Structure 1
Amino acid sequence: MDRGTERSDPPHGGAAAGRIPLAVVVVDRAGLVSHWSRGARRLFGTAREEAVGRPVVDLLPVSGAFPEDEETAPYGAYAAYDGLGPDLESSLDGRLFYPAAGRARLTAADNDRIDVLWWAYPLVGPGTERLLVLAADAGALRAEGTGTSGAGAAVERIAPGFALHTDFPGAEDLARGLPEILPSMSVGESARIVSQVLELGYPVLEFSQNDRVPVTPDWGVPRRSERTARRQRAAAAALSGEPLPPDAEDEAQDLEYVAVRERLEFLNEVSGRIGTSLDLSRTIVEVSRAVVPRFTDVAGTYLREQVVAGEGFSDGVPDTTTMWHRVALEHTDEPGRWDDVVPVGEAMPFPAHTPFFQCMTTGEPVLVPRISEQMGHMIAAQFEKRDIRPLITGRSMLVVPLKARHVVLGFMILLRHPERVEFNDMDRVTGAELAARAGLVLDNARMYMYQESVAETLQDSMLPHIAPRMSGCDIATRYLPGTLLGRVGGDWFDSVKLPGSRTALVVGDVMGHGLNSAAMMGQLRTAVQTMAALDLPPAQLLRNLDDLAQRLGEHYLATCLYAIYDPIASELEIANAGHIPPVVVRAENGRSDLLDLPTGAPIGVGGVPFESVRVRVAPGDRLVMCTDGLVEVRGEDIGVGLATLCESAAHPAASMDAACDTIIRALNTRGGRKDDVALLLARLNGIEPEDVAEWRIGHDPREAGRARAAVREQLHEWGLDSVADTAELLVSELVTNAVRHSHSRPVDLRLVRGDTLLCEVADDDHTLPTLLSAGRLDEFGRGLRVVSTLAHEWGTSRTGSGKTVWYELTLPRR
């Protein structure tokens, strides 16, 4: 006990709970002292600097608690306790008799022989600490008359012992006091050690077989009431010129140590609670909740508008036009009291005369001990039609900046209830440190969100937005990034409109990940688009793409699958460059099969030929093209993924999007996928023969009239008289030009009825027509201008035998 006995109702044979000054020593795995408290310095007379790092057997009389076998390395036996679990007593096999306690007399520096009581606890778990030793001066206890009820001024028998802390009333209060004796460490570490001490047995003083006093640790730090009284006595002594009371310097150091330790533990606890994710919204909530109610009663968090939007911003100092978003508000008041007055999500600037503006421009905390009525009125002036004064007047306020890399991202307004102690300078320092840590966490989340937005924008700009309906087919696509931290990659898909109502379908995969692969993917995709417009056969296109990749660099490697679908001929022409084969699902029986294609070599290898394969399809068949990231899993044969792809592709679905989702669900649920995924699904609807009309036109200029008549008659048959005049005029222009420029072959004219009316005119001249600006007196150059003006869409392309000029007209809704 500390200068007398603290008495309570005597439990268990009259034992009274007491507080005694304790020396605290922690020993590491090597048997060396790692912590030496001030209480140990007072008891043993050895300074901390001299004790830490020395063998504990040279300083403490607890040799019975250590292995005495010379051949055993110091504390080698403690390694046996690692990982034994919570039931420590089951591991005490009688060799060391833990927990151990004893009493000894020894000679200490600057003291006569002292009578020492000690308790030793083995520590298990992570960290280097392996033994906790508590010690007390038995002589001082005897002199002060420590004892049980009925004991006299002197006590004949005092011995250290152990008892379960549940043996005493108020055991939870005793347990809460136990962490005070531990060295400065994290809250989690303290809790781990306390749990072990309590399980092994609470330290007690035994006065007889029936009387035991549970030890409430006291290592020289007075309680709050005692602290205040001693501070007052020390201040009075200083004013009167009298010498300071005994141990006043040590007490002041202890008080300062405890205050700093409490702040550090609070900051350590807050640091462990914030930044658990890179989601900005979640991080904001974590920061706000971390300080309420332990540090403050109200916490409002404001961030720059650009931070909330995930944008970059200049490093300049904020001004009165800077908009600040209220992103979080935590408080201990009754629910709803703040919600209507200061709702989350509101944005506002702050005038220059407010403490908030001072905080955001200087980047330093602003402390207002109490908000006066005048300041409350000044702050409330910016809240239109809302009186905030009752919520803030009389409260203590601390405004701390949230900054990172010398840039103010936002600030927190912290308020305490009027009845709570006001913020002081130490709170200002604590708040600044808290805000600095929170600012870094928020900046990390902001930068991640910004980079994620940039990556998504880049990927979206590189991946095409494919129309769900093309001529004779429906298309659905999916793209999945390989990792959440890198949403750009080298996988891509595409579709290209070709002459003759055909559609090119492309899926490719650049080897590698990240921006380099995405940049290469953009180049290859652009090249495929350009060469597809030239109507190159699939094998020739891949040949040209391979040549391009080799010119771009030796590290440019990619796989690619290129298919041309002809809905009129009901045929696919496909070439493969090292890609996984596509799947065709037959509408007739629902069977799905991998197409047997020549594999080819990846784009960029060079010197390897590519082959095209023609595959007959029927209306309603589905073509599935994907990258290997969907079917390949680390440690699993790719055949398993391909089999799952075939099975899931054959599953009936209500729509193309639903079919894509079915495939993704079937294959993406398997663990281990790290690669990007590109998926293209096409339903090959075909074009019925009755929706196609074809004519062959001779070289006589008068044939243009016959073409006009044939088109008008066909449109009447199809019930499209509303577009007959425009179609007839445009056909006349295209056929006249084709007859004029063709050489020997007849001109081919074709009409295709689908979602639009497609008209194609083909001849054997390889020169593509261009759009000209004709003057008033020019005889030629107006034909394509008319086509460009009246057609919904038009274009030209080269073919193997010449060129094709086409246009489309929008059809009325049926």
Structure 2
Amino acid sequence: MVAAAVPGSSEVVGAPIAMIDAEGAVVGWTQAAQRLVGYSPAEVVSRPAGVMLAFAEDWAKASAFAERCRVRGGWSGLAALRHRDGRRLDVSLRVSPLSGQHGSARWLVSVTDMAAVFSSAVNGLRLSSLLIRAPIGIVVRDVELRCTWVNDIAELRDGIPPEMRLGRRLPETVPGFEAEAMEAVTRQVLEGGTPVVDLEYPAWLPADTPWKHAFAVSFFRLDDAEGHALGVCAMLVDVTDRERARERLAVLSEASTRIGTTLDVMRTGQELADLAVPLLADFVAVDLTESVPLGEEPLARLGPMGEQIPVVPRAGMASIRPGAPESLYPRGEAVFVPPASPYIRVLSSGKSHLEPAIVTSPGTWLDQDPARAQKIHEYVMHSWMYVPIHARGTVLGVAVFVRTEDAVPFEEDDLLLAEELVARAALSLDNARRYTRERTAALALQRNLLPHHLTGGSAAGVASRYLPADIHHGAGGDWFDVIPLSGARVALVVGDVVGHGINAAATMGRLRTAVHTLADMDLPPDELLTRLDDLAIRLTEEDTDAKGPATGVMGATCLYAVYDPVTRRCTMARAGHPPPAIVDPHGHVTFPDLPAGTPLGLGLIPFPFESVELELPEGSVLALYTDGLVETHDQDIDAGMHRLATVLARPGLPLEDLCSAAVDTLPAPAPCDDVTLLLARTRTLSPDQVVSWDLPTDPAAVSTARSLALRQLTHWGLQDLATTSELIVSELVTNAIRHATGPIRLRLIRHQLLTCEVSDTSNCVPRVRHARTTDEGGRGLLLVAHLSHRRGTRYTPDGKTVWAEQELPPAIRGGPGTGAVA
């Protein structure tokens, strides 16, 4: 039993009450009655109740009034009483008949002081007296706790007829724990005299109804003229509706904490099923349209005839039976949907379907689904509800609620509760669907923007790993790149955009494209990062004024390194990014002292980046990574870098295996941030692959340069490229002699391509222009552009280098020293 507040029930017990016998004499008097009228029990018990009426004419009418009460079975109305001190009391009376053994009768009179009612109304309180309340069951027990008097309403409330109750104690009438507990409370009131208000207990009515009822009972003691206890009066009110409403509110409250704990569609469907069993149903199935788990757009609604029946996979199911044997389909499997089934009606109309008694007779839609009909008979499914799962104008699926062992059929109140539960789950499901769609789009965008094939050419062997963040955070803005540069060099890039999701992926794509563009300009690392920082600032400023989704760079980090296999020199700079790890051929790991720089897009200082140049032995491993690899929630970056260094200290391990080993050391199986790792094992071009000559600034040197180049190509076995190479060398050397100053240097490099470079001390960049037919010059660089695979210019500390690349013949391209992966 639970003590709970029944609206107004405390007024019932607090109201003055008297018990009157069939002759009109007072036989029971309460302390509340004494406080109201002023008469003690000794002054009124055994005396006619009419003596307390204020007017003689009322006393004269008392007999006729008593007869009307007998005929009508009670009475309620206004009357005037005389206080013991002589003043008039305007009261409201309610007279209720009580039945005793052998047909004897008594009356229970409850009095409400109208002055108190008016005062409560003035104070804004809604106090309703016993007299205007719905009928209340009344049971009077003697000092032996045997029922001596009971009114007819009590039987209507708890279903116990008077002949089973009169003369018996409560445990003798209704055996059980609840009856014992109620009798203990009754004895406590009898012995102590203190009323007990609103004691709640559940009870089952007779077997002809399956409903379980809840009652609120209040107890008070009746005293005789000497103040001795005559017995205890119990008043009971049926609060079943209120309790059911409370239970529904509790279910909805629990739904707010148990449904939608993740952004996983299938998990949310299972949470809905788990919550509804057994609180609402014995078996629940949650079936979603196929597009929902994939994050695609759901149904707007089926056509009027239900054409194009969608695939409906089962997202969740729960049962009071282990393993949910009622279900024909496991989670994730598509559910068969007959055309005329409630599924189709619900998906078509968007309205719920309630079937208090399942109809399985021939001629129903179940004829098309005999397997389901068999389950209905096997598990005695007798009542079900089909509730559409819709949110934001779209249909996401159907939730099915079934009762089997619970004999009570579903009713409209159950349907309202189910619809409310499903509505709350639908918002979580739609949020999860939208998140899945955005995350899928972000991952697809990110994977499309990341390189699909990496090659370090003749400069390095490369390997990489990229792990997107787990489902709680989605894809981020990590990227990596290996960019071939002129002169057989290679650029290694790793970057990280702050944030997650599609905006971070889009920003990453913009930055990666910008790095490619700047790398093609052969900028040194510090200058490249400076220009990238300017771009990030501009994008952020543009995004501040934009009204669409934010794609500006609100902070990003980057590490850019250039390795030259001819000199074995590596130049690198970073913008707020973790430093690279360098593993020498003997397995010694170091993190170079590289100035950190500021993250991109902040614009804190005019020249925030500084390059560092290192010489790397052949076979060294460069490891570029993002902070997701070395930093977790429970581990700082220093510990992560130490962990990474331990893994990398194995120089003989293939790069792919080394990547896998580094990722496998992550402390958590699902990272909270994107993990990116780029490994490059350096190579060195042999002296036979590189040749250079210093030339004077004399026009006659052009012929010498052609001869030297032709002889070297013959030595390399590249006679097929002799004609085009002579033209390229001639044009580049001629331009240098005409437009530059200082010494000129010609260099040929044979790697995966044939590179011709001419260096001078001038900063003047040659420009390709389209010469007219009447022009005598201006066609040299245009001719070089047509003959070469790629061409360009890069600045050096001493001037510039103009270069052109040609593709090697297929028979030579994969030969020794051309950079085949080792």
TMscore range, shorter length: 0.5 to 0.7
User: Corresponding residue for 1:140?
Assistant: 141
* More displaced stretch, 397-406 vs 800-809: 800-809
* More displaced stretch, 637-646 vs 800-809: 637-646
Q: Is the 8 A contact 1:469 1:475 kept in 2?
A: yes
User: Corresponding residue for 1:360?
Assistant: 347
Q: Is the 8 A contact 1:370 1:422 kept in 2?
A: no
User: Corresponding residue for 1:689?
Assistant: 686
1:446 & 1:287 partners in 2: Cα distance? Answer: 16
1:334 & 1:639 partners in 2: Cα distance? Answer: 49
Following TM superposition, by how much is the alpha carbon of 1:649 offset from its aligned partner in structure 2, in angstroms? 4.0
User: Corresponding residue for 1:739?
Assistant: 730
* More displaced stretch, 485-494 vs 794-803: 485-494
User: Corresponding residue for 1:618?
Assistant: 617
1:271 & 1:413 partners in 2: Cα distance? Answer: 20
Q: Provide the secondary structure at the position in 2 that maps to 1:500.
A: helix
Q: Provide the secondary structure at the position in 1 that maps to 2:618.
A: coil
AA partner of residue 811 (structure 1): G
- Alignment of 1:24 with 2:8, yes or no, is no
Distance 1:140 1:680, change over 3 A: same
AA partner of residue 584 (structure 2): R
User: Corresponding residue for 1:564?
Assistant: 562
User: Corresponding residue for 1:390?
Assistant: 374
Following TM superposition, by how much is the alpha carbon of 1:562 offset from its aligned partner in structure 2, in angstroms? 1.9
User: Corresponding residue for 2:421?
Assistant: 434
- Alignment of 1:443 with 2:430, yes or no, is yes
Cα deviations across residues 674-702 of structure 1 (Å, max 9, x unaligned)? Answer: 7x566444333313517725476997789
User: Corresponding residue for 2:757?
Assistant: 762
1:609 & 1:404 partners in 2: Cα distance? Answer: 50
1:223 & 1:771 partners in 2: Cα distance? Answer: 100
AA partner of residue 687 (structure 1): T
Q: Provide the secondary structure at the position in 2 that maps to 1:507.
A: strand
Distance 1:320 1:300, change over 3 A: farther
Cα deviations across residues 457-499 of structure 1 (Å, max 9, x unaligned)? Answer: 3443444445265433233445566785443545543221112
Distance 1:475 1:329, change over 3 A: same
2:352 & 2:786 partners in 1: Cα distance? Answer: 71
Q: Provide the secondary structure at the position in 2 that maps to 1:364.
A: coil
User: Corresponding residue for 2:38?
Assistant: none
Q: Select 2:308's aligned residue among 314, 321, 334.
A: 321
Following TM superposition, by how much is the alpha carbon of 1:258 offset from its aligned partner in structure 2, in angstroms? 3.8
Cα deviations across residues 165-222 of structure 1 (Å, max 9, x unaligned)? Answer: xxx9xxx9848999xx9xxxxxxxxxxxxxxxxxxxx97958999xxxxx9x974765
Number of residue pairs the alignment of both structures matches: 610
AA partner of residue 760 (structure 1): T
**Which segments of 5 or more consecutive residues in structure 2 lack a partner in the other structure?**
18-30, 33-90, 94-107, 112-136, 149-165, 213-232, 542-552, 738-743, 772-778, 795-799
Q: Is the 8 A contact 1:624 1:680 kept in 2?
A: yes
Following TM superposition, by how much is the alpha carbon of 1:337 offset from its aligned partner in structure 2, in angstroms? 6.3
User: Corresponding residue for 2:206?
Assistant: 225
Distance 1:429 1:628, change over 3 A: closer
**Which segments of 5 or more consecutive residues in structure 1 lack a partner in the other structure?**
1-21, 26-34, 48-57, 60-107, 115-135, 159-167, 182-201, 210-214, 232-246, 716-726, 773-778, 789-793
Structure number, greater radius of gyration = 2
Distance 1:375 1:337, change over 3 A: farther
Q: Provide the secondary structure at the position in 2 that maps to 1:545.
A: helix
1:307 & 1:641 partners in 2: Cα distance? Answer: 39
Following TM superposition, by how much is the alpha carbon of 1:410 offset from its aligned partner in structure 2, in angstroms? 0.3
AA partner of residue 583 (structure 2): V
User: Corresponding residue for 2:156?
Assistant: none
Q: Select 1:370's aligned residue among 358, 363, 369.
A: 358
1:619 & 1:405 partners in 2: Cα distance? Answer: 61
User: Corresponding residue for 2:814?
Assistant: 811
Following TM superposition, by how much is the alpha carbon of 1:141 offset from its aligned partner in structure 2, in angstroms? 5.0
1:735 & 1:36 partners in 2: Cα distance? Answer: 105
1:370 & 1:770 partners in 2: Cα distance? Answer: 85
Q: Provide the secondary structure at the position in 2 that maps to 1:371.
A: coil
Q: Is the 8 A contact 1:398 1:423 kept in 2?
A: yes
User: Corresponding residue for 2:802?
Assistant: 802
Distance 1:154 1:426, change over 3 A: closer
AA partner of residue 585 (structure 1): V
Q: Is the 8 A contact 1:708 1:729 kept in 2?
A: no
Distance 1:230 1:143, change over 3 A: farther
Cα deviations across residues 1-34 of structure 1 (Å, max 9, x unaligned)? Answer: xxxxxxxxxxxxxxxxxxxxx8935xxxxxxxxx
AA partner of residue 293 (structure 2): V
AA partner of residue 261 (structure 2): T
* More displaced stretch, 635-644 vs 467-476: 635-644
Q: Provide the secondary structure at the position in 1 that maps to 2:563.
A: strand
User: Corresponding residue for 2:261?
Assistant: 276
Q: Provide the secondary structure at the position in 2 that maps to 1:411.
A: strand
2:682 & 2:210 partners in 1: Cα distance? Answer: 92
Q: Provide the secondary structure at the position in 1 that maps to 2:431.
A: helix
Query: Cα RMSD between the aligned structures?
Result: 5.5
Distance 1:443 1:203, change over 3 A: farther
Distance 1:465 1:584, change over 3 A: same
Following TM superposition, by how much is the alpha carbon of 1:527 offset from its aligned partner in structure 2, in angstroms? 1.9
AA partner of residue 568 (structure 1): V
Cα deviations across residues 78-116 of structure 1 (Å, max 9, x unaligned)? Answer: xxxxxxxxxxxxxxxxxxxxxxxxxxxxxx9977899xx
Cα deviations across residues 369-392 of structure 1 (Å, max 9, x unaligned)? Answer: 32333454x3453x6xx7544234
1:379 & 1:113 partners in 2: Cα distance? Answer: 59
Distance 1:433 1:548, change over 3 A: closer
2:292 & 2:770 partners in 1: Cα distance? Answer: 48
AA partner of residue 614 (structure 2): V
Following TM superposition, by how much is the alpha carbon of 1:616 offset from its aligned partner in structure 2, in angstroms? 0.9
Following TM superposition, by how much is the alpha carbon of 1:304 offset from its aligned partner in structure 2, in angstroms? 1.6
User: Corresponding residue for 1:70?
Assistant: none
Cα deviations across residues 200-249 of structure 1 (Å, max 9, x unaligned)? Answer: xx97958999xxxxx9x974765231784999xxxxxxxxxxxxxxx9x9
2:180 & 2:426 partners in 1: Cα distance? Answer: 34
Q: Provide the secondary structure at the position in 2 that maps to 1:532.
A: helix
Q: Is the 8 A contact 2:757 2:801 kept in 1?
A: no
- Alignment of 1:308 with 2:293, yes or no, is yes
Q: Provide the secondary structure at the position in 2 that maps to 1:225.
A: coil
Distance 1:649 1:288, change over 3 A: same
Cα deviations across residues 764-805 of structure 1 (Å, max 9, x unaligned)? Answer: 696588999xxxxxx9999999989xxxxx433323221222
Distance 1:683 1:527, change over 3 A: closer
Identity, in percent, stands at 28
AA partner of residue 572 (structure 1): C
Aligned residue runs from structure 1 range 137-536, under 5 A: 140=141, 142=143, 144-145=145-146, 174=177, 205=187, 219=200, 222-225=203-206, 228=209, 254-269=239-254, 272-292=257-277, 295-313=280-298, 315=300, 319-327=306-314, 328-330=316-318, 342=329, 344-347=331-334, 353-368=340-355, 369-376=357-364, 378-381=365-368, 387-392=371-376, 395-417=382-404, 420-465=407-452, 467=454, 470-479=457-466, 485-510=472-497, 520-536=507-523
1:332 & 1:229 partners in 2: Cα distance? Answer: 19
* More displaced stretch, 264-273 vs 635-644: 635-644
Following TM superposition, by how much is the alpha carbon of 1:307 offset from its aligned partner in structure 2, in angstroms? 0.5
1:647 & 1:462 partners in 2: Cα distance? Answer: 31
Following TM superposition, by how much is the alpha carbon of 1:362 offset from its aligned partner in structure 2, in angstroms? 1.9
AA partner of residue 797 (structure 1): G
Distance 1:41 1:362, change over 3 A: farther
Cα deviations across residues 316-375 of structure 1 (Å, max 9, x unaligned)? Answer: 556522513222454567979667x64654547856643222111222111233233345
Distance 1:633 1:443, change over 3 A: closer
AA partner of residue 494 (structure 1): D
